[in-house]
DNA sequence: GGATTAGTTCAACGATCATTGAATTTCAAA
DNA sequence: TTTGAAATTCAATGATCGTTGAACTAATCC
């Protein structure tokens, strides 16, 4: 099981970051991830409602390669989280206004209420 | 001379906004525009160092159609400005952190010092 | 071992993108 | 009215994008 590649945050160009944000599915994933603050609560398979497994894999890679998310491998599962501290250090305030902007978009895909209530990993 | 189309800011989806920001030339234009606060000081032809006229026209249209810039026609010239108030009302804080993020990117195209000194329209 | 689950990889597709260069429009100035 | 400048439009290109479905890995469970 080869380790997952994560770019050094200093190597991420702003234009690449914005390219990764230019998709409704990826913005939906980002918003959902921002709702779960406990790290590693978000497993990839939680997003099956958003798209097919292979398409999800594609979008996860886009977010990861743009330095936005981190992916931890555990068994056959992958856990996602936002690289908040690093992003805020390199692009102060940006990721928060991005998330806030995306959260208000009514057309993004969303997870059900059991997600926000925190009863997912319970 | 047909009037230039500007979308209602409410019709701009976040993903479309980010798509417009996902290009170094457009980010360079945005940063340059943010340096000139007096409206209508920035004429299109000021950016000839960034790209060919036809390519500039393409990028100007992208920014305009994403609701980021406003274009005022006067004679054969076009003057550009950022739609700051509208953007801040719809996406609070976003455009400022975007500009601040882009400003720190050393690889974006830039205008010469005569731009920042304000001696362009003088 | 075999079957199952979680997720990735690959090849293909049509759509959009950034770029080029030539032709065109629109206005101002001589 | 001709000339010139400012900027757009159009057709063409190669590259990348989002999506699909099938094949593939890798870990877990009986």
A8-66: per-residue pLDDT in tens?
999 999 999 999 999 999 999 999 999 986 777 889 989 999 999 999 999 999 999 99
Q: What pLDDT, on a 0 to 100 scale, did the predictor assign at position B88?
A: 98
- Dump pLDDT digits (tens) for A113-122: 888 776 665 4
pLDDT score recorded for residue A47? 97
Answer yes or no: are the C-beta atoms of A69 and A20 closer than 8 Å: no
- Could you tell me the two tokens for A21? 């944000």
- Residue closest to sugar C1' of C5 by CA: A76
Q: What is the pLDDT of residue A68?
A: 98
CA of A55: nearest nucleotide by C1' is D19
Mean pLDDT of B52-71: 98
- Please give the model's pTM, rounded to 2 decimal places: 0.94
What are the residue ranges spanned by the domains of chain A? 9-103
**How many angstroms away from the CA of B115 is the closest CA of chain A?**
23
Residues of B in contact with A97 (CB under 8 A): 91-94, 97
pLDDT score at A119:
62
Asked if B67 and B86 touch (Cβ cutoff 8 Å), the reply is: yes
**Which residues touch A29 (CB under 8 Å, ≥6 apart)?**
A47, A50, A59, A60, A63, A80
Report the top-level CATH class of A9-103: mainly alpha
pLDDT of residue B122: 47
Inter-chain CB pairs, A–B, below 8 Å: 72
Closest Cβ–Cβ partner in B19, B94, B101 for A91 = B101
Rounded distance in angstroms from the CA atom of residue B112 to the C1' atom of nucleotide C26 = 29
Q: Which two tokens stand for residue A15?
A: 């234009």
The answer to whether residue B102 neighbours chain A at the CB level (below 8 Å) is: yes
Cα distance between residue A65 and residue A87, in whole Å: 13
Express each pLDDT in B5-55 by its tens digit: 999 999 999 999 999 999 999 999 999 999 986 777 899 999 999 999 999
Pick B119 or A85 by higher pLDDT: A85
How far CA B47 is from CA of A21, A62, A119, B20, B72, in Å, comes to 27, 31, 54, 17, 16
**CA B48 to C1' D6, whole Å:** 12
**pLDDT, position A122:** 45
Query: What confidence score (pLDDT) does residue B30 get?
Result: 98
Q: How far is the CA of B23 from the C1' of D15 (A)?
A: 15
Higher pLDDT, A90 or A39: A90
Domain B23-104 sits in CATH at 1.10.10.10
Question: In sequence order, which residues have a C-beta less than 8 Å from that of residue B80 and are 6 or more positions away?
Answer: B29, B33, B42, B43, B44, B60, B69, B70, B71, B72
Query: Nearest Cβ partner of A22 from B15, B24, B101?
Result: B15
Statement: the CB of A122 is under 7 Å from strand D? no
């Amino acid at each position: 099981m080869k380790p997952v590649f994560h770019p050094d945050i200093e190597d991420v160009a702003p234009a690449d970051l914005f390219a990764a944000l230019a998709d409704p599915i990826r913005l939906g994933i980002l918003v959902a991830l921002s709702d779960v603050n406990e790290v590693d609560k978000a497993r990839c398979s939680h997003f099956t409602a958003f798209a097919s497994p292979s398409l999800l894999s594609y979008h996860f890679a886009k977010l990861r390669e743009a330095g936005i998310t981190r992916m931890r491998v555990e068994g056959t599962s992958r856990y996602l989280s936002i690289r908040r501290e690093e992003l805020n250090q390199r692009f102060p305030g940006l990721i928060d206004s991005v998330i806030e902007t995306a959260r208000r978009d009514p057309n993004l895909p969303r997870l059900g209420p059991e997600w926000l209530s925190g009863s997912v990993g319970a």
